[in-house]
Homo-oligomer: A and B are copies of this chain.
Amino acid sequence: MKNPNTLTVSLVTIGDELLIGQTIDTNSAWMAKELNHIGASVKRRVAIGDNWDDIWNCLQKEGEAADVVLITGGLGPTSDDITKPLLCKFFGGKMTTDKAALENVIDIFTKKLNRPLLDRNLWQADVPDNCTVLQNKRGTAPGMWFEKDNTIYVSMPGVPHEMKGMMQDDVLPILKDRFMLHAIQHRTLLTAGIGESFLAEILVEFEQELPQHIKLAYLPSYGMVRLRLTTSEQNAAQGEIKLEFDKLKKLVGDYLVIDQDLSLQETVSNILKSSKKTLSIAESCTGGYISHLITLIPGSSTFFLGSVVSYSNEMKVEILDVPSEIINQHGAVSLETVAKMAEGIRRKTGSDYALATSGIMGPEGGTEQKTLGHVCVAVSSAQTTTTTTFDFRFDRKRNIELTAVHALNFLRKNIG
């Protein structure tokens, strides 16, 4: 290791699509999280195009700076994918067919895809003779592990689930095995209802007294702030991080949403599961996004009965039994309507709790009384129906996301 205390990693992503904005890079975040978890430290993430000189220079520079260079992308079967021949030349090898990789390609095409096998598919089994091949159990392009001048280089396909599989099956276990890494430990809590700078004021003394090897980070997102303490496992073993985390929780007080690194939908899901209560949702302005967040959670069918996306007023009346007078008198975006929506879906589904949203997400539809970004939210239970309003001031997509997060937080408070 270039630095005896930490294994440093550079993440290199290859592909023109990243430089013209066609693709959002979700691979790097996942890789960083997993590497962090085993105690490796990502120092840089670099994205470059399918260009020979750019790739070559990048590998050289990143290799000088980091212990491990993890490369994704550029291994496809088409002519714009030049990464493999470049790697072969960079490490001074010769191309050779890997038998296991070839069997894998043949297997995928004949058994799984049931398609004729083309030459360009067979070429996917060719690899430089000076690499260790990482077999791809989820696709045709094999991974390649090189070592040069005390640096490890691993090339993986850019397809997310293929890369993830290869990291989990091979790369992470090998790195963990070979280097004695101290896993980095994080303790994270989520706050709501207080801005970043006000939190910082509350935590001035805490930060000053924090031991040097424990770091505090502020991670704001969607109008909430996550606070994270970080240290290495060694220190954590001494109970120090627990101690500091408890202090932090006390200082944050009522602003605390949850003292784990969980999303709001996971938090809500855990509460409902453990109390064996069920949920239904009536979404107007969020258009199905809250239901999507809930149903992304495996096993959500144990507590989530379903929802109605009542985009039209007719649906509010016909399916959710909102009295049309209520809509006529108060409007579709009103506390009165959203309360009836929540009560309606709860009655229809027989759920213990119901959440409802109605608002103006933009870019059009705002009025003087009800401005763009105005949202009404209701939570209904057998005992009572509670409502609230929010006002956001962003674009349609962000307004929808903010509404979802704050509606879920309102639900959490009313089912706690």
Contacts and interface: CB of A to CB of B under 8 A. Distances in A.
Nearest to A297: B396
Contacts of A47: 28, 44-46
Interface string A211-241: 0000111111100001010100000000000
Interface stretch (A90-98, A251-259, A285-293): A285-293
B288 A115 contact: no
Nearest to A161: B394
Contacts of A34: 21
A239 to B, nearest CB: 23
Interface in A29-48: 29-34, 36, 41-48
Contacts of A362: 298
A370 to B, nearest CB: 15
19 contacts: A21-B34, A22-B226, A24-B26, A28-B47, A44-B54, A78-B196, A79-B207, A161-B395, A283-B288, A287-B300, A292-B400, A298-B363, A299-B364, A300-B311, A304-B311, A306-B308, A306-B311, A306-B319, A308-B319
A195 interface: yes
Contact of A298 (B201, B218, B283, B396): B396
A45 to B, nearest CB: 4
Nearest to A113: B195
Interface string A189-211: 00000011110110000010000
Contacts of A180: none
B287 A289 contact: no
Interface string A112-131: 01010010110000000000
| Contact count band on A | 35 or more
A78 B292 CA distance: 34
A162 to B, nearest CB: 10
A309 B308 contact: yes
Interface stretch (A12-20, A144-152, A374-382): A12-20
Interface string A264-299: 000000000000000001010011111110111011
A110 interface: no
Contacts of A80: 215-218
- Chain A facing B: main interface SS: mixed
A165 to B, nearest CB: 10
A265 to B, nearest CB: 12
B309 A288 contact: yes
Contacts of A348: 318-319
A161 B315 contact: no
A186 interface: yes
Nearest to A404: B292
Given A17-B217, A20-B186, A308-B306, A78 B315 contact: no
A28 B15 CA distance: 14
Interface in A345-362: 348-350, 362
Given A295-B400, A307-B311, 15 more contacts: A19-B44, A20-B32, A21-B29, A22-B219, A24-B29, A25-B29, A45-B48, A78-B197, A78-B218, A79-B200, A118-B198, A161-B395, A288-B288, A298-B396, A300-B311
Contact of A291 (B45, B220, B221, B287): B287
A407 to B, nearest CB: 13
Contacts of A288: 283, 288-292, 295, 307, 309
Contacts of A349: 312, 314-315, 318
A292 B292 contact: yes
Contact of A201 (B113, B118, B215, B306): B118
A331 interface: no
Contacts of A287: 291-292, 294-296, 300
A132 interface: no
Contact of A76 (B79, B196, B300): B196
A375 to B, nearest CB: 14
